[in-house]
Chain A
């Protein structure tokens, strides 16, 4: 038996990882990311002459579970045609037996990187509202994302916001494709304790519980999701994640108070975040639209449902909302007084 040098090990690893695209219409370009159960490459669709993102399973499961999950993920995406959700183009099996799917290649930045260049709170809130649009659409189609976090949101070069990585999605009810439901009577991408995924030490990575139920990402997942209470998860679990995401957009972290030296969180926005991330689901917003409405009301200078204002706060908000108009009236009155003084001299 020959000794394998470190270089040979590296070559073997690289060679084993590279998907075998022979017989497909795709040509490999480069690897761009690695997720919980697969790798994402950019590839060229030679028939259509366009670049696509190709996600391929890395480890084959002995019971086909991982394969089924990737196929379900592709089908979930296919069922969610929305400008804020990355569209899937194709799903299939490669010559080396690995399942893959291709989707739109999104050029742009992950939200956590993109946000560094967006200083204004209203601009950040507008991005958040677009995320809400996509999630609300998915909820309306009976799909929970279950892993909403900055790393799973992409912002394109024209400001388009796309919710990515629906690998942990759970299907709540049957507005989605009937074949997807038929393939999995429980209609859940993966929620069975035996269907374990890989726990990662990284706090930003999606993790599983000790008994194997996929949870999401610490800091962004709801308490019920963290408990592995998969059966009872509903849209309010995603609302929790959206609350954490909103807090991240405003303070730079998903939990707790704002970072020292960072922007001070407005009371109304803090209240929206707090309401969305209540420990008890019943205390949260009942749906994403309600939450988005509160954020929109804040943007419009209106009172938000999550926060009861004092008289002083109301006056302050009124002044902020009509500042220029109030200043015009004040200028007019000052001018009137000056004219009167001038006339009575």
Chain B
């Protein structure tokens, strides 16, 4: 039996999914724009919240800075300077945000920025609401570790939220909306007391059906989240590291 005999159907990624870093280096302007968009979709919320929290900026300033940061990301060649051997993309982007905000402070300018046009709808009002719901200790002096932790947590939240939306669409395409509702009710909104029996009664299913549906949804969620993560990672090593960080798979 060779190792190929163990190849599963769904745990390998399609090779056509190139990472954002590869795409950002492309000579094709459309590819580069696509890379920027993918980065923006995954990172705008963590960046916005980070600017609000770390830099204590009012909402409108933070919105301006977030848009400015992503709009200028390609123009300033920041992604070209990224070296995956030296740091993670996530950490690199956070440091770039810090540097960007500091430079903005120095110049105190408010003139119109150049750079790429963003085609991503940024729901700042939603992000503000989330900030209100996020448990943060603003009085604590932010240490580098706590900043990193905050950014990581928000990045995971953003990544998982995108994966949940992908899963919703995937379920719809497979006519498995009920599965998604079960997943939503149990894993996303459920409290500690909710049980499979309760869910089964509510949805008129057997417990086995609920168990199987949730197992399927979790498996697909995992696959989708990892796929998204793979695209956002610049190397295999970074992907594995980020996956362990995102899912809390860290050796203790």
Chain A positions within 8 Å of B, measured between CB atoms, are: 1-9, 11-13, 15-18, 20, 22, 34-36, 39, 58-68, 71, 91-99, 179, 182-183, 194, 196-198, 200, 202, 205, 210, 212
* Top 3 closest pairs, chain A to chain B, by CB: A97-B11, A97-B8, A15-B218
What distance in Å separates the Cβ of A211 from its nearest Cβ neighbour in chain B? 9
Query: Are A97 and B9 in contact, with the CB atoms below 8 A?
Result: yes
Query: Are B218 and A16 in contact, with the CB atoms below 8 A?
Result: yes
Q: Tell me if B202 counts as interface (CB < 8 A to partner A).
A: no
Query: Are B161 and A20 in contact, with the CB atoms below 8 A?
Result: no
Query: Are B156 and A22 in contact, with the CB atoms below 8 A?
Result: no
What distance in Å separates the Cβ of A194 from its nearest Cβ neighbour in chain B? 8
Q: Choose among B164, B212, B236 the residue with the greatest number of A CB atoms under 10 Å from its CB.
A: B236
Neighbouring A residues of B188 by C-beta, 8 Å: 2, 4, 8, 11-12
User: Chain B residue with minimal CB distance to A206?
Assistant: B251
What distance in Å separates the Cβ of A238 from its nearest Cβ neighbour in chain B? 22
What distance in Å separates the Cβ of A232 from its nearest Cβ neighbour in chain B? 24
Q: Tell me if B181 counts as interface (CB < 8 A to partner A).
A: no
Neighbouring B residues of A179 by C-beta, 8 Å: 1-2
Query: Are B189 and A59 in contact, with the CB atoms below 8 A?
Result: no
How many B residues, CB 8 Å from partner? 57
Query: Are A20 and B251 in contact, with the CB atoms below 8 A?
Result: no
Neighbouring A residues of B15 by C-beta, 8 Å: 62
Q: Choose among A7, A16, A97 the residue with the greatest number of B CB atoms under 10 Å from its CB.
A: A16
Neighbouring B residues of A35 by C-beta, 8 Å: 251
What distance in Å separates the Cβ of B90 from its nearest Cβ neighbour in chain A? 15
Chain B positions within 8 Å of A, measured between CB atoms, are: 1-3, 6-13, 15, 85, 123, 126, 129-130, 133, 135, 153, 156-157, 160-162, 164-165, 186-191, 212, 214-215, 218-219, 221-223, 225-226, 230, 236-237, 239-241, 243-244, 247-252
User: With the chains together, A61 CA to B156 CA distance in Å?
Assistant: 20
Query: Are A59 and B9 in contact, with the CB atoms below 8 A?
Result: no
Neighbouring A residues of B247 by C-beta, 8 Å: 13, 16-17, 58
User: With the chains together, A66 CA to B12 CA distance in Å?
Assistant: 11
Query: Are A2 and B164 in contact, with the CB atoms below 8 A?
Result: yes
Query: Are A4 and B219 in contact, with the CB atoms below 8 A?
Result: no
User: Chain A residue with minimal CB distance to B10?
Assistant: A97
Additional A-B contacts beyond A62-B230, A198-B241 (4; CB < 8 A) = A9-B156, A34-B252, A61-B236, A62-B12
User: Chain B residue with minimal CB distance to A95?
Assistant: B219
Q: Could you write out 27 A-B pairs with CB less than 8 Å apart? A: A1-B126, A1-B165, A3-B157, A3-B161, A5-B133, A9-B156, A12-B164, A16-B221, A16-B225, A20-B218, A35-B251, A59-B226, A59-B243, A61-B236, A61-B240, A62-B236, A65-B236, A92-B6, A93-B7, A96-B10, A96-B11, A97-B12, A98-B11, A179-B1, A179-B2, A196-B240, A200-B251
What distance in Å separates the Cβ of A136 from its nearest Cβ neighbour in chain B? 29
User: Chain B residue with minimal CB distance to A179?
Assistant: B1
Query: Are A64 and B221 in contact, with the CB atoms below 8 A?
Result: no
**A93 in contact with B251 given A3-B129, A8-B187, A16-B222 (CB within 8 Å):** no
Neighbouring A residues of B156 by C-beta, 8 Å: 9
Query: Are A67 and B240 in contact, with the CB atoms below 8 A?
Result: no
What distance in Å separates the Cβ of B175 from its nearest Cβ neighbour in chain A? 21
Neighbouring B residues of A71 by C-beta, 8 Å: 3, 6
Query: Are A3 and B249 in contact, with the CB atoms below 8 A?
Result: no
**A212 in contact with B164 given A64-B7, A97-B11, A205-B251 (CB within 8 Å):** no
User: With the chains together, A182 CA to B191 CA distance in Å?
Assistant: 51
User: Chain A residue with minimal CB distance to B162?
Assistant: A1
Query: Are B2 and A93 in contact, with the CB atoms below 8 A?
Result: no
Neighbouring A residues of B251 by C-beta, 8 Å: 34-36, 200, 202, 205
Query: Are A60 and B12 in contact, with the CB atoms below 8 A?
Result: yes
Query: Are A3 and B126 in contact, with the CB atoms below 8 A?
Result: yes
Query: Are A17 and B9 in contact, with the CB atoms below 8 A?
Result: no
Q: Choose among A3, A65, A66, A92 the residue with the greatest number of B CB atoms under 10 Å from its CB.
A: A3
